[in-house]
Structure 1
Amino acid sequence: MALGELVRRHLVDTRPLGVAAYRRIWAGQTVSSVGVGVTLVAVGQQVFELTHSSFYVGLLGMASLIPLIVFGLWGGAVADAVDRRKLLIVGSLVAWAATLFILLQALLGLENVYLIFAAVALNSTGFAITGPTRGAIIPRLLEPEMVPAANALNSLVYSLGAVAGPMVGAVMLGNGGFAAAYAVDALLFTGSLYAALRLPSLPPLGKVSRPGARAVLEGLSFVVRSPVLLMSFVVDIIAMVFAMPRALFPELTAVRFGGSMDALGWMTSALAIGSVAGALFSGWVGRVRRQGMALSIVIAVWGLAVAAAGLAHDLWLVVAFMAVGGVADVISSVWRQSILQLYAPDEMRGRLQGAFMVVVAGGPRLGDLRAGATATMFGLTGAWVGGGIACAVIVLIVGLSVPGFRNYRGR
């Protein structure tokens, strides 16, 4: 096989970037995701320094979970009934206000953990509105055959931000403190807001359902009646709840690596390092047909990689194993998102994206709580390693026991 053909078949497909509106969204997310990564490492470290407790770090996940569920489902329903451009702008402004709020508390030196929880909850509200709206916009901007490639590019953006953000955050924490870190996020978020402002008008198509409980229930009912969609949600929840070790990073940094901010930055970036590699070489992902079975297998790989990282005492090994988990995670993400977007009619996409976003964003927050609580009961290693092993075992049992999902072939 010629080198050019090998590259074409395996490197990420960049055709969606030829569409100007999508290219602006992609570029805006590239910039703003770095700021999100900065705040992610900074807020966890600030809460740990204020409380000296991984349990409180885990509670950050719960502070954002309720807004994610309520406004994610509601925001998805609204996205099916209004101009999606306008809704994306509103959600972006809410998220930006939350970033400015957490910056203000750091500048004033308030040192109040509950104010931080409030800022995280407000930011989660904005994210819950923009997430499903942006996901529903993409199939409107692109031809169907380019949707999987766009999802791979989106995963690459988030992964690059998750690599660069914590690294930048570690530098800012070491040299400028929490306020400097949050200021970077506030500045970079303007890239995402600019992309939203430049979108064309995107009014709803097809039958319009009035936003509310009935519209939300229609979307959830659609998922429940579709075993493949339902199981794609279930296996992701298993992966995140049992094997996400994020809330344990500050404690592991203190216990094994002397509290080094560089070590914290590397650990926080490790998953995304793997995700970048997986997304860059994602050209083959769209050619896999047995996607249900493949999802179960890659999530089991994720769990085992996390367990191995929890046993490692050298920083480079922790990073390497978490990077392997990141490769598995990004491959899973591309398949799950593409299945959802291509199953749903346009008038249902916002609601289904809302449900998807609740699972994708809510799962890690439940994982944070699980990790923090089990670390309190069983210790750092037990919480980290036990969760990874439980994930691998449970996902294979559940995922491969449902024939419709196990035998599902991608469209």
Structure 2
Amino acid sequence: MTATDPTPPAPARKRLFVDLEPLRASPAFARMWIGSAVSGIGAQLTLVAVGLEIYDITRSTFAVALVGVISLVPMIVAGLYGGMLADAFDRRIVALLAAVVAWATTALIALHSYLGLDNVALLYALTTVDAVAATIINTSRQSIIPRLIPTRLLPAASALNGISGGVQLTVGPALAGVLVASVGFSATYTVDVVLFTAAFLGIVALPAILPEGEIQRPGLESLLFGYRFLKRSPNIRMTFVVDIIAMTFGQPRVLYPVVGAVLIGGGAVTVGVLTAAYAVGALLCSLFSGRLGQVRRQGAAVNWAIVAYGACIAAFGIVLWVAQSGGSRGLGSLTEGLASANLPALAAAAVALAAAGAADNVSSIFRNTILQAAAPDAMRGRLQGIFTVVVTGGPRVGDLFVGLLAAAGTVWPPLLGGALIVVLIGLLARLQPSFRRYDAANPTP
């Protein structure tokens, strides 16, 4: 059974906890889910560690922001071309080849650290290649899911992926903070090299996933065909637009090193706590996502979730403003512990980010479901490519937005960005009423 089945969603039983039926219904989905979760922990560990290492070398928040900015254009190309590959070839093979590249890049990042090169330019290059490979993996993996489970289980599968993402973003960054502070960067990267092998296990065990329907060779015509489809698909298009707004103006992660070293204190451990707090909120939301499967007005749910997200990011900005108003701690060290931190401010910041993570997770569940249910299989790779570019590229544009404002010595980016999100989403909700009326029982692109 695939997402093209005409069977409408069955009435969901009232449940509080996440629906585990997708794992029981499809062993292939279960294996891929487990492999993605384990390897994702390592990926998040490296992402945080690279940011910490670059900040340790340069003492520049803007230099940390450039990690995402430099890889943005290559990621866009990879998402678009990777989507065309997924619509033209066996999606399992496409994902497997990209995983080989990602694993090799991670090993080179570890080698760079063991050799003590401290070469920021090389770190930028390696993380860019890794981001490109990860984009193709995610594009292929997400376009595979609707082929493994029935349409009615897509919201539950998205919630399970939210749990996976929450575990990754909770364990990975927290582990990165502890490992960097205790055993250094080299050992931290090596842990990722080992954990990444789980990705191979999850992909290799999949059956062949050949695209259904008309197959087009990768190239300009295939890309234009996807563009024309998206142009006449307002609901799918809106899932991209609203997420771009949320991620561009609501991703304060590049501030975390300076928060840990200057504003709140606690060094690398604080960076791990703040990053993990966001993931904890997403994880708890997914664990208690049972009733989300009963929501039919999924477009309206996306709008409200992103408005809540903006409000939470603004609240995080207020915490930083209050901490700054209390007086600067001076230039601290990323290796200092929580004993040096302003614990009430850290707790308040963590709560705001946890709430933001929960709201973002609700939005993600329904945006994924809308895309996977409303898109025909022959277009899923290209649309998932665009989706992957949006969800990974948007935060990188946000890194630039925050990095530029932070370079001016201000902590206003989260407060300003959160307010912009609320205003812009409210405006779009009025301009695109069909998205508010989107009905899960009758998915239309």
Task: Report TM bin, short chain.
Answer: over 0.9
Match for residue 405 of structure 2 among 374, 392, 402: 374
Contact 1:248 1:380 in 2 (8 A): no
Aligned match for 1:228, one of 214, 232, 235: 235
Which of the residues 297, 318, 327 maps onto 2:349? 318
Equivalent pair of 1:220/1:355 in contact (CA under 8 Å): no
Q: Which residue of 2 aligns with 1:339?
A: 370
Q: Distance in 2 between matches of 1:283 and 1:178?
A: 39
Tell me the TM-score normalised to structure 1 length.
0.96
- The question of whether the paired residues in 1 share the 8 Å contact of 2:162 and 2:361 is answered with yes
Structure 2 CA distance for aligned equivalents of residues 58 and 139 of structure 1:
35
* Match in the other structure for 1:36: 43
Structural RMSD (CA): 1.4
Query: Could you say what secondary structure the match of 2:247 adopts?
Result: helix
Q: SS of the counterpart of 1:381?
A: coil
Q: In structure 1, which of residues 3, 6, 15 is the aligned counterpart of residue 21 of structure 2?
A: 15
Matched, 1:206 2:237: no
Letter in 2 for 1:196: I
Aligned partner of 1:80 among 59, 62, 87: 87
Structure 2 CA distance for aligned equivalents of residues 97 and 224 of structure 1: 38
Which residue does the alignment assign to 1:356? 387
8 Å contact kept, 1:81–1:208: yes
Q: Tell me how far 1:293 sits from its aligned partner.
A: 2.2
CA drift at 1:220: 2.2
Unaligned runs of 5+ in 2: 1-11, 324-344
Contact 2:78 2:135 in 1 (8 A): yes
Are positions 1:99 and 2:106 aligned together?
yes
Instruction: Measure the CA separation in 1 of the matches of 2:44 and 2:221.
Output: 36
1:183 aligns with 2:190: yes
State the alpha-carbon separation in 2 of the partners of residues 294 and 17 from structure 1.
25
What is the CA distance between 1:171 and its match in structure 2? 1.3
Please report how far the alpha carbon of residue 8 of structure 1 lies from its aligned counterpart in structure 2 after TM superposition. Answer: 5.3
Shift of residue 407, structure 1, vs aligned partner: 2.3
CA distance in 2, matches of 1:136, 1:383: 34
**TM-score calculated relative to the size of structure 2:** 0.88
CA–CA separation in structure 2 for the residues paired with 1:293 and 1:203: 34
Gaps of 5+ in 1: 1-5
User: Would the aligned equivalents of 1:63 and 1:120 in 2 still touch at CA under 8 Å?
Assistant: no
Residue in structure 2 matched with residue 397 of structure 1 by the alignment: 427
SS in 2 for 1:12: coil
Match of 1:110 among 113, 117, 122: 117
> 1:410: how far off?
2.4
What's the CA shift for 1:211? 0.9
Query: Which residue of the other structure, out of 261, 270, 273, is the alignment partner of 1:266?
Result: 273
Paired with 1:108 and 1:340, the residues of 2 have a C-alpha distance of: 44
- The answer to whether the 8 Å contact 1:59/1:369 transfers is yes
1:157-195 Cα deviation digits (max 9, x unpaired):
011110011111111101111111111111101001111
Match of 2:145 in 1: 138
Among the aligned pairs, what percent are the same residue? Answer: 42
Letter of the 2:392 counterpart: A
Question: Could you list the per-position Cα deviations for residues 260-318 of structure 1 after superposition, in whole angstroms to 9, with x for gaps in the alignment?
Answer: 22211101111101000111111121222222222121111111101111222410110
